[in-house]
Structure 1
């Protein structure tokens, strides 16, 4: 038999079928073609495919072209007739692009092992064929890794690329498309825009070779055509940047407040008027589930409650006797410039205690000397003081279903402690008092300064000699009986499940050197969406916790731009409720994160939900430069935390500032 590769170069579809019959890959009877669902054309020494007789194989869903010598497949090889291929194996060939899959509308599983195309082709394929569920490369399903890169690609298109077009090219193209009869200027303009897009993409390491990708250039060309076709018709007003986005996202922009204006800079944690820049306000958080915009903040030796409506401090607690209970290891050399008291309040969290008339809100605040204080803003009292010897509190949270359990992160350990006796004490006090002005001094309650025992203690180890510290905690309920604790550390993300710490690995596509997790935030419980930000990374990662638990690897479905920081920052997440649309299938949320350089980033994301699975994210990203008040030194402050509610945004800094912003 003559070489199949030569006969493929100028063959008709009938000749192709004859070839498959002669190689005994198809039955000789043409009446049997209609029933074929699987076809194996491997090891036929095929070099090139110009077309394929899909019309003769209407039920074909699985095609194997592996172990050939394929160097190219015509981009339009299936254009003449729709195909229904769900499984395609093109492994062990010499293909350089996947553009030939542009008409595959039903493809679910693709094996691309051992070919010549790069990673760019593989992740862009998910945009070309959104039905793909499994992308096999070197016998490993890489769809999660490539989906992450695709999200980054789409985000650049929907933010920087659309802005570039609207600000620099839109007006020129609109004018020249009318005046330039020979289209020479228009072509030059679009070529320039194409190169400008390439430069934007190639600033990112994942897209550094995008100009070499046929599929990448094809999709860039499609994007340019979409922008050109979006010009308004006659008698229509000029199309602004936002009209280049989807209609759904434009509706979101119109119905949701997304801009902020500064209304107050507060300094309330300093020890004196002469000490304005050395105190760091470590954390802030709004009182939950209330129309009162009460903000709690902690830093230095003070805890403040601030009413953001009036921008005034309603109550302030100072513990000037913060002393370390940690036993020094080794000999400490005295520094004459060292402060007498270097301990400070480091973290806080709110909890709601169910009551008949109104839920009682309690604030827990932790300090670096291992002490925890319990406060009630409503009753203006500090009613509890807990001491954990040899500890430094880095983070706190309350058990999601048991308000009597406080969970504490300290060094490399997580502790569960029962504080029911303190809650009972507060409830007893409330029953005895009829006025919120009743005086009550926590110092007089020395008998309640407890070295309270822990009900559970979990120690974390990263498996090598490096030091691991707990950085953040988050409870998550998969069900009423399946409650997980997510633990952020300086060496990655862990979960406590069935009283056993388990580490969730990052995808291989993410550089895993130094997984210093700064904060963990719940986005949406129904879709199992969690956000984390990592020190030194330029992305905020949003992952599906339920899917991540299946193979103990983060199933990342969305990324957000993340400013570079040298100091850990706690981000804020706020879910946007579609109160007027109970049938809505969209999930929207906001994310705020600060930087070292006097600015913060605002993200608004909208994602369509199909069977509780999130699809098609749209973004709005905005950077806010902060106009700082006059400070004594020239160093721009770093933002340490953010808190967000329906009316206000509050930021804290490392130079004793609380920045209050109001939604416009």
Structure 2
């Protein structure tokens, strides 16, 4: 029910009221309207009197301050809070709101740092209401940039250095120095000017310092469940499953930037007879590595690809474009059935909206697609139609048909094998921009949290029922792909235990096609979720089968997964291993066996990447096959491991 000035619940309000009136308890009250009361400040609020209060309206007052601990004495269940048309300068008082879903901050005196940091202080916040919609979009981008800035700055190393003498008399000075170094780092960026003047900014720094301190003291155990810690203690004496064989630094432009390039992604060539060819992308290079010889077999660079794909007239027109600004962001292998063989080609996306089609076997680029978008975040190929490529950028999923490119490559191969064969194309230059778009989906409605696509995966539920899983920063969407019709995407609801922590999907991988089991990792969540896709589609909510405890991460990473062949007499229903990278240069190897009649068995081992000069690496992607494991990092490392026999 909604109340305004009903005396049944509070004393008479007058327009000269400067503080909160006395409120009469009511355990049935769900909505409370305290607008237009000329309130100037609130020192405390009796949330304990209204245990079921979900909506609170404090709009059209004269509020200049609210005590940061106004709800500390009792837990509140507020989901909707209206603070519009006040004079508030800080939102620190929201720090104890664990269920807040919608916040209206229209027409206040909030500094920019206070605005965007409200996204941090209220992790459950889905709807931020303001007159300026563009400002909301800008706030979300600033928040993402702040988190990325702290991660890329190797904060773990800085924290460890500042805390080495915490038991001595000058430990307080070390903490103060660490705080100042964080502020200096943040305020170096113009958009975070005067960050130290923000009460929310100082709260943010304090929380981050506590997180780092807790992580150092517990060696990750603060992030882990008791079951996971027990399994770690049991398994730490087990023989290592992988041994390192080589680390590469091959994506830099010069010796001056050896550690400044992020190697975004890696993937082993599929169904290769020897399973030892690896592709990586990052910076302005795509590398192919032979894991047997530990040698780089071929490199593709942005400059050479652009000069191959761009005509003279176009180069003159685009002479002001800085090609060095284009970086490779994602890749996927595509399997094409050719005459008497399977042809594997690589599709690579870039930050300039370009897609390059490469043939490592013939060491050529045979296709160059230019899209009018800012950056390609992920791409994948159609499981039953390899000429259909799905592309994710911003909040858009786009399907394009690359049949003309594949036909041209096959014609080129026929010509190479039989010089007398007819070449199907007169022009032998690279094929550019023949891109018939079949479908396009916009996942952002214009309301609620901004949606950015993070991962794509085609999944065949049956021969005629193929769906596309779309991971985003705001949850998991399903697109039922039909060539001749377009259907609206479906968003799968997450359990409260998950969405209260995060809905930022990092990646997902198929565990078992026959049981429709998918593994998914979520940013900020200390578990890997394994769910039944078929059942989830029926209920339109995540149907979780297995939860694997794993340290939460502050920076997204791509997991990798490999089914394990069951032993003849094994009664296990599922058997697989999963590799998950972490932000401190370590990764976890989970081996899982599930049974119908007894508890699942989880074996976990932790590995640490050993870098030169004790560098701390954030692992961005992983790839695994029967023989090798590869990890890529944010400081230009490609770490290659071989499986022990």
Normalising by structure 1, we get a TM-score of 0.56
Q: Does 1:643 align with 2:623?
A: yes
Supply the distance in 1 between the matched residues of 2:460 and 2:590 (Cα, whole angstroms): 26
2-side partners of 1:373 and 1:657: how far apart?
A: 23
Contact 1:389–1:451 (Cα < 8 Å) also in 2: no
Note the 1:5-16 alignment, pairs <5 A: none
Measure how far apart 1:448 and its partner are. 1.5
Aligned equivalent of 1:597: 584
Flag the 1:572–1:321 CA change in 2: closer, same or farther, 3 A. same
Q: Which has the larger radius of gyration?
A: 1
Please, which of 469, 483, 489 is the counterpart of residue 472 of structure 2?
A: 489
Matches within 5 A, 1:30-109: none
Q: Residue 540 of structure 1 aligns with which residue?
A: 528
Query: What is the rounded CA distance, in whole Å, between the counterparts of 1:472 and 1:552 in structure 2?
Result: 19
- 1:191-242 per-residue CA deviation (whole Å, 9 max, x = no partner) reads xxxxxxxx99x9689999xxxxxxxxxxxxxx9xxxxxxxxxxxxxxxx968
Does residue 357 (structure 1) correspond to residue 333 (structure 2)? The answer is no
**Counterpart in 2 of 1:282?**
264
How far apart, CA to CA, are the structure 2 residues paired with 1:480 and 1:392? Answer: 33
**Would the alpha carbon gap of residues 205 and 621 (structure 1) be closer, same or farther in structure 2, given more than 3 Å must change?**
closer
1:567 aligns with 2:535: no
Per-residue deviation, 1:635: 4.7
Q: Is the 8 A contact 1:405 1:416 kept in 2?
A: yes
Two-structure CA RMSD over aligned residues (Å): 3.3
Query: Residues of 1 paired with 2:300 and 2:569: CA distance?
Result: 43
Q: Give the C-alpha shift of residue 609 in structure 1.
A: 5.6
Provide the residue aligned with 2:611 in structure 1.
628
CA distances 1:258-281 after superposition (whole Å, capped 9, x unpaired): 611111010111111222011110
Q: Distance in 2 between matches of 1:340 and 1:356?
A: 38
1:506/1:512 contact within 8 Å kept: no
Change (3 A) 1:311 1:447: closer
- The alpha-carbon distance between structure 1 residues 285 and 513, as it changes in their structure 2 partners (threshold 3 A), is same
Question: Is the alpha carbon distance of 1:508 and 1:452 closer, same or farther for their aligned partners in structure 2, counting shifts above 3 Å?
Answer: same
Give the distance between the partners of 1:420 and 1:319, measured in 2 at CA.
24
Q: Quote the residue 2:540 is aligned against.
A: 552
Matched, 1:398 2:381: yes
Count of matched residue positions in the alignment of Structure 1 and Structure 2? 397
Deviations 1:292-317 (A, max 9, x none): 30000000110000001111000111
2:502 counterpart residue number = 514
- Deviations along 1:130-175, one digit per CA (max 9) or x if unpaired, are xxxxxxxxxxxxxxxxxxxxxxxxxxxxxxxxxxxxxxxxxxxxxx
How far has the Cα of 1:530 moved from its partner? 0.4
5 Å-filtered alignment, 1:78-227, equals none
Partner Cα distance (1:462, 1:308) in 2: 45
Q: Tell me the distance in 1 between the aligned counterparts of 2:526 and 2:626.
A: 27
Pair 1:390–1:624, CA change in 2 (3 A):
same
Cα separation, partners in 2 of 1:602 and 1:206, compared to 1, 3 Å = closer
The verdict on how the C-alpha distance between 1:549 and 1:258 changes in structure 2, with shifts beyond 3 A counting, is: farther
CA contact (8 A) 1:564 1:596 kept: no
Report if aligned partners of 2:628, 2:642 keep a CA contact under 8 Å in 1: yes
1:653 corresponds to which of 629, 633, 642: 633
Compute the displacement of 1:497 (Å). 2.1
Contact 2:380–2:456 at 8 Å: present in 1 too? yes
Deviations 1:589-622 (A, max 9, x none): 1110111101111100011368xxxx63211001
Matched, 1:468 2:451: yes
1:513-535 C-alpha deviation (Å, 9 max, x unpaired): 53111101111111111011111
Q: Partners in 2 of 1:552 and 1:449 — Cα distance?
A: 40
Q: 1:606 is matched with which residue?
A: 593
CA distance in 2, matches of 1:412, 1:445: 36
Unaligned runs of 5+ in 2: 1-217, 307-320, 482-486
Measured in 2, the distance between the counterparts of 1:592 and 1:241 equals: 19
- Normalising by the residue count of structure 2, what TM-score does the alignment of the two structures yield? 0.57
CA shift for structure 1 position 624: 0.5
Tell me the residue number matched to 1:432: 415
Task: Tell me the SS of whatever aligns to 2:502.
Answer: coil
Deviation at 1:381, TM superposition (A): 1.2
**Aligned positions of 1:343-422 closer than 5 A:** 343-422=326-405
1:509 to 1:288, Cα distance in 2 relative to 1, 3 A:
same
Whole-angstrom distance in 2 between the partners of 1:271 and 1:204: 37
Equivalents in 2 of 1:388, 1:609: separation in Å? 49
Aligned-pair CA distance for 1:339:
8.6
C-alpha displacement of 1:340: 7.5
Match of 2:173? none
Which residue pairs with 1:262 in the alignment? 244
Would the alpha carbon gap of residues 509 and 426 (structure 1) be closer, same or farther in structure 2, given more than 3 Å must change? same
Name the residue aligned to 1:273: 255
The answer to whether the 8 A contact 2:517-2:531 is kept is yes
Match of 1:479 in 2: 462
Q: Distance in 2 between matches of 1:465 and 1:588?
A: 39
Q: 1:315–1:283: structure 2 CA closer, same or farther, 3 Å change rule?
A: same
Moved over 4 A (4+): 202-208, 444-447, 582-585
Instruction: Report what 1:317 is aligned to.
Output: 300
Q: 1:297 is matched with which residue: 280, 284, 295? A: 280
Separation in structure 1 between the aligned mates of residue 546 and residue 380 of structure 2, nearest angstrom = 26
Distance 1:435 1:347, change over 3 A: farther
Q: Answer yes or no: is the 8 Å Cα contact 1:523–1:573 preserved in 2.
A: yes
**Counterpart Cα distance in 2 of 1:258 and 1:502:** 42
Change (3 A) 1:513 1:464: farther
Contact kept, 8 Å, 1:488 with 1:519, in 2: the verdict is yes
**Displacement of 1:454:** 1.3
Compute the displacement of 1:563 (Å). 2.5
Query: For residues 395 and 512 of structure 1, what CA distance do their matches in structure 2 show?
Result: 26
